[in-house]
Amino acid sequence: MFGYGYNGIIGIIVLIADVYALVNILGSSASPGNKILWVLVVFLLPVIGFILWYFMGPRGGARARI
């Protein structure tokens, strides 16, 4: 019975992280092609895509102000 209550919480955390990444990707100063690529990566691979974006994604825009 372990894990039933935690799956939903983990899903919400992943959703929040991905929405945060998408907002920052769209607000960045990267080229439109790079933005589309990063949006697809984060959308198709939610956890791995977020991690990749966080370490290798476009800098600037909304994320630089935080």
pLDDT in tens, 2-36: 556 677 888 899 999 999 999 999 998 889 999 99
Place of tokens 């907002």: 23
22: which 2 tokens?
């998408």
pTM recorded for the entire structure: 0.76
Residue range 44-52: mean pLDDT, rounded = 94
CA separation for the pair 62, 66 (Å, rounded): 7
